[in-house]
Structure 1
Amino acid sequence: MAASSRDEQQPWFLSLLGLAENFRTSNPPNIRLCIHCLQAIFTFKPPPKIEARTHLQLGNILLTHTKNIELARTHLEKAWQISSTLTSNDDVLFESASVLAKLYETQHHISLAKPILHRAIEMSQQAPYWHCRLLFQLAQIFALEKDTLSACSLLGVGAEFARASTSHYTRILFLLAKGMLLLIDKKMREVEETLPKVGGLIEEFQGSPVHKESLKVFFLVLQVCHYLMSGQVKSVKPALKQLQQSIQTITQIHTDDEPLSTNPVDLFQWLPKEHMCVLVYLVTVMHSMQAGYMDKAQKYTDKALMQIEKLKMLDCHPLLSSFQLMLLEHIVMCRLIMGNKSVALQEIFQACHVCQQQPRLFTTHGAQIHMLLGLYAMSMNCMEAAEAQFKLASKLTTALDLRNFVNLNLAIVYLRTSRQADLTSLMDKIEPEKMETHSHSLKAASYFVQGLQAFFQARYNEAKRYLRETLKMSNAEDLNRLTSCSLVLLGHIFLSLGNNREALNMVTPAMQLAGKIPDVHVQLWASSLLKDLYRSCGDSANEAEGYRLHTNFSQSLLKDHFQSSQMSEHGIIQWTDGPCPFHLSTPVNSNTML
């Protein structure tokens, strides 16, 4: 609450401001008296500059310490109206524009936020820090509206402004933000053009070590995500290793020893170090999940969720909720693969609770939650519910790859329920050559589904052709789960054809690979085939071992199946409309999930 101009040196103003600050910083803070002191300033009929500043201070305090959002909005609107008519453009003008626009955004009044930010950007040419900050803010609003073109245009303007202001750091920050939006929008060709150029600028960067490393982490996160979105699990490993090394380097840099830049345009931070650490855990989980390393995914999820819990105690930043939700989405899929459906069900509810705290997340992640419910319902053999959830997920999303993933699973539902007509109408969308995707892993999965369909129709030679293509693609990028599924299905085909030796050559490595993942469903399938194979070969010792393994996997899955079906949470598979049925959820301490 600093005072600076001659008008602001008035004794009555300084006294009231000092009292207000004393009440605000006392322990515990007395916000009511702080507000009274600031309101008292208006009784002196202060000059416009002081009046605008006081309205801004009141707006900020009401937003931070009270639930009186409408009164806060009134004060912020007055601060903006008054300061925007003054000849001197100072922090009050730009801060009131920024805070008011943010408030409008949270109230879903984007049409009110954008004109204010546009005007403030025009007026801030001589205030470099605010000019860049407001450009970032408006670009973020366009990004939320999925207007990537406008957002990227603003970030390009910001990059040029930062270059003209000799801020290489913030220029690279703008370019990385642009690269991130292009990646989200799946503009892969433009991403592949942008990232190498930015990588070169980072290598040439001569600024502070902490700035350089934070830019490097941002760049490597984008590079890793680009590979993962393309389903290139093997190709990503060098970049992921580099990212993990970079995050270790940045956590060891003491920022207190860092010389402060004198350029106001450098005063930006992409993410705090602690948030970067969580993000690196998250992309590691994404990689482990795609590669089929469920134990590793589980380990890093636990670490990340514990870190998020600690950070939320200090500052419940919305970004932490987004990270938490994405981690839960991945760990739910891991639990289902590992045969822990009851835990997966609780974690789906936990994901819904995270969305409840940040309602915008229900809009951005609703499709993913219904997709998870579809996978859970399918694992419980509730095929009608699975179909309904998958169809809703497909309807809610605009993301092509999520829709492709949903369609592949929907095809398996139709295969398992012998709904040939529905399957035929879907197959056009998931044919490898016709599927709209940049993802290597999704194309490989589509060959597997084609092979599965041919197997169900006893077209064994055709099935083998599709599955060999799946194996070729999955081996090229270490897609272990897809490899194990393809091997066991090939083994089943050879067994059906009476070729026991080839069947054994397929099923044995499938069983070993499934054990490493671990994928209980493939292990159950493979142990059943091994039991039959050894019996037909007259190998009674191995047949008994196969029978023992099959019994163990079967009993474990049946026990979990029964436990899940008895949980009140199981009823969520019927949720396709209205608010989440939280009344079905048993209260769970989030720490018990770690």
Structure 2
Amino acid sequence: MAAQAAAAAQAAAVQAAQAEAAESWYLALLGFAEHFRTSSPPKIRLCVHCLQAVFPFKPPQRIEARTHLQLGSVLYHHTKNSEQARSHLEKAWLISQQIPQFEDVKFEAASLLSELYCQENSVDAAKPLLRKAIQISQQTPYWHCRLLFQLAQLHTLEKDLVSACDLLGVGAEYARVVGSEYTRALFLLSKGMLLLMERKLQEVHPLLTLCGQIVENWQGNPIQKESLRVFFLVLQVTHYLDAGQVKSVKPCLKQLQQCIQTISTLHDDEILPSNPADLFHWLPKEHMCVLVYLVTVMHSMQAGYLEKAQKYTDKALMQLEKLKMLDCSPILSSFQVILLEHIIMCRLVTGHKATALQEISQVCQLCQQSPRLFSNHAAQLHTLLGLYCVSVNCMDNAEAQFTTALRLTNQQELWAFIVTNLASVYIREGNRHQEVVAVQLVGEDQSRPQLPGQPPVLMSPPPCSSHCLRAAAFYVRGLFSFFQGRYNEAKRFLRETLKMSNAEDLNRLTACSLVLLGHIFYVLGNHRESNNMVVPAMQLASKIPDMSVQLWSSALLRDLNKACGNAMDAHEAAQMHQNFSQQLLQDHIEACSLPEHNLITWTDGPPPVQFQAQNGPNTSLASLL
């Protein structure tokens, strides 16, 4: 008996010694691998060699699975060898499922492997993998929530917003059951964001109300609480801006700006939450700061505060450049593209077409680096090119760009914005489509017009709900009536535009409506009323500043003062008109001489890789002068 006990003790001692030896060689190799990975610059080849050296020792399953995960992760993040990365991650996932209580390795392998599948466009392989991981992770709150977020994101990228919303709803209920109000709010706010994208406003309002209550009642990490508040306020602000309610959004926007200032003064709390389901961050502070700049730019752009929009764009782009040196997160490129889209529109309004064209080229370059980014912004890119074409009076190219953009978008507000601009092109050119488009721009029955000779793809979803775009549609109807010589009808539409634009401080639309009304009164011989319209139009246009409206207003003031015998005022207005004309002409020539001007002919496929310098087409400033 004693001999058996001694033998058993000896065997246990040998086993323990072997385990200790195994642990020591494993830790040594792991230490070397980490040293090479974190070297400056990283020595990834040596790191991989150290990890591969683990397998000849015939390690236990736990070490084998973890090493496959580490190798897969290093190869995925630091090399282009996706085939080997996939092989190691698949082995880690397979082996770890056979080991009890090995959740971190098991679910991290599933998460990384599904990311890799998506990167390889094997979405059909990623979905069942994530579903299985979600099914077996219900006792592990952190991983269960993370995997739900990941699968919801995958459905979102596929434009399957219904499935994504369902998963986020499941996540919110799970978070409530495990006592994580913080993560419940994250799930609900994410769902609210998707509902806003789908324009399901009846579902959005009660959801945002509930989110607001959860955010205010939750007592936890101050940075996490403020980040939830930023998320909530960003959704509210974008909701107002999508609805074109520039004035109504101001209180929310002010709260958002105060909130981001509060976050910037808080220090990160290194104490981990007691509930593992709370181990999430929405965005880093630095990303949130750029996002707040972005929505501020969107507001300034809609309101017609273009100098303010340019100021905040410059700040945001400067911060983005710093962040992109250290962080290759795709969201930063998305922020950069959206900021550039807005500043390009500012440049076109303020008479800086050459700069706008170079920035359009910059957006093309960013989209060349990411097929997903191009897919999400192709319609906007062609819309910007259409606006540029209008600014240099290349109306055939403008029509081609706008119709291309229409073909590529299913976003309701963007569609309405494109059609509004396309209608103005048709009206100015006397195109046979003009009446079809202009008539259908306004009213509760607003829909995508079926243009003669155009494919059915141009038919419309539900009517546009944006206050700003509906006001712009009335302006286009007024413009159409003016060109048709139906002046009383034009005045009626333009007064409706003024009423709507004044209600929400849409300054640029107000200036455009005033100058057109002034032109109508001038044509009718009512010089005093014309002057009452044109003077405030010029003042407002100078404040924006809108070069085209200033050019138009100065020409009208010159003619008005001549007609009234005010020689000195007429001379001053003529001098202003000459100055604006020269500025626009110089910028026009510069823009058309750039090699990037060739972009106006691009209407199909990915953005051109390079531009060959050539003389621009024979364009004219007749419509401006």
Aligned to 1:119: 132
What is the CA distance between 1:424 and its match in structure 2? 2.6
Amino acid of the structure 1 residue aligned with 2:130: L
- Which deviations, in whole Å up to 9, do the C-alpha atoms of 1:281-331 show, x marking residues without a partner? 000000000000110000000000000000011112110000000000000
Amino acid of the structure 2 residue aligned with 1:391: T
Amino acid of the structure 2 residue aligned with 1:433: E
Q: Distance in 1 between matches of 2:532 and 2:438?
A: 30
Q: For 1:454-473, list aligned pairs within 5 A.
A: 454-473=481-500
What is the CA distance between 1:585 and its match in structure 2? 7.5
Length-normalised TM-score, structure 1: 0.95
1:107 aligned onto 2:120: yes
Q: Distance in 2 between matches of 1:7 and 1:490?
A: 89
- Which deviations, in whole Å up to 9, do the C-alpha atoms of 1:29-71 show, x marking residues without a partner? 3322221121122212333332221111001111222221221
Amino acid of the structure 2 residue aligned with 1:301: T
Aligned to 1:383: 395
Aligned to 2:169: 156
Q: For 1:24-35, list aligned pairs within 5 A.
A: 24-35=37-48
1:205 aligned onto 2:218: yes
Q: Distance in 2 between matches of 1:166 and 1:193?
A: 22
Assess, with a 3 A threshold, how the Cα gap between structure 1 residues 28 and 494 changes in structure 2: closer, same or farther: closer
- Which deviations, in whole Å up to 9, do the C-alpha atoms of 1:233-268 show, x marking residues without a partner? 000000000100000000001114x64311111110
Assess, with a 3 A threshold, how the Cα gap between structure 1 residues 551 and 10 changes in structure 2: closer, same or farther: same
1:338 aligned onto 2:350: yes
Q: Distance in 2 between matches of 1:376 and 1:422?
A: 21
Q: Percent identity?
A: 63
Output the aligned Cα RMSD.
Answer: 1.5
Instruction: Say which of 417, 420, 444 aligns to 2:471.
Output: 444
Amino acid of the structure 1 residue aligned with 2:197: I
What is the CA distance between 1:18 and its match in structure 2? 2.7
Q: For 1:569-580, list aligned pairs within 5 A.
A: 569-580=596-607
Gaps of 5+ in 1: 1-5, 587-594
Amino acid of the structure 2 residue aligned with 1:232: Q
Amino acid of the structure 1 residue aligned with 2:437: L
Q: For 1:488-507, list aligned pairs within 5 A.
A: 488-507=515-534
- Which deviations, in whole Å up to 9, do the C-alpha atoms of 1:383-441 show, x marking residues without a partner? 1100000000000011011111111111111111111x211332354223322111000
Query: Which structure 1 residue ranges, 4+ long, deviate > 4 Å from structure 2?
Result: 6-9
Q: For 1:136-535, list aligned pairs within 5 A.
A: 136-256=149-269, 259-419=271-431, 421-427=432-438, 429-435=440-446, 436-535=463-562
Assess, with a 3 A threshold, how the Cα gap between structure 1 residues 7 and 484 changes in structure 2: closer, same or farther: farther
Larger radius of gyration: 2
**Paired residues, what number?**
579
Report if the CA contact (8 A) 2:152-2:163 is conserved.
Answer: yes
Q: Distance in 2 between matches of 1:192 and 1:10?
A: 56
Report if the CA contact (8 A) 1:121-1:134 is conserved.
Answer: yes
Assess, with a 3 A threshold, how the Cα gap between structure 1 residues 8 and 269 changes in structure 2: closer, same or farther: farther
Report if the CA contact (8 A) 2:272-2:279 is conserved.
Answer: no
What is the CA distance between 1:193 and its match in structure 2? 1.8
Assess, with a 3 A threshold, how the Cα gap between structure 1 residues 545 and 100 changes in structure 2: closer, same or farther: same
Amino acid of the structure 1 residue aligned with 2:360: I
Assess, with a 3 A threshold, how the Cα gap between structure 1 residues 273 and 448 changes in structure 2: closer, same or farther: same
- Which deviations, in whole Å up to 9, do the C-alpha atoms of 1:504-539 show, x marking residues without a partner? 111110000000000000000011111111111111
Assess, with a 3 A threshold, how the Cα gap between structure 1 residues 502 and 165 changes in structure 2: closer, same or farther: same
Instruction: Say which of 4, 29, 38 aligns to 2:51.
Output: 38
Q: Distance in 1 between matches of 2:413 and 2:345?
A: 16
Q: Which moved more, 1:261-270 or 1:187-196?
A: 187-196
Q: Which moved more, 1:100-109 or 1:554-563?
A: 100-109
Report if the CA contact (8 A) 1:172-1:215 is conserved.
Answer: yes
Q: Which moved more, 1:235-244 or 1:16-25?
A: 16-25
Report if the CA contact (8 A) 2:439-2:477 is conserved.
Answer: no
Aligned-partner SS, 2:54: helix
Q: Distance in 2 between matches of 1:298 and 1:25?
A: 40
Report if the CA contact (8 A) 2:22-2:59 is conserved.
Answer: no
Gaps of 5+ in 2: 1-18, 447-462, 614-625
Q: Distance in 2 between matches of 1:241 and 1:90?
A: 44
Instruction: Say which of 25, 33, 46 aligns to 1:20.
Output: 33
Aligned-partner SS, 1:381: coil
Amino acid of the structure 2 residue aligned with 1:426: V
What is the CA distance between 1:14 and its match in structure 2? 2.7
Q: For 1:46-57, list aligned pairs within 5 A.
A: 46-57=59-70
What is the CA distance between 1:20 and its match in structure 2? 2.1
Amino acid of the structure 1 residue aligned with 2:509: L
Instruction: Say which of 576, 580, 586 aligns to 1:549.
Output: 576
Amino acid of the structure 1 residue aligned with 2:357: L
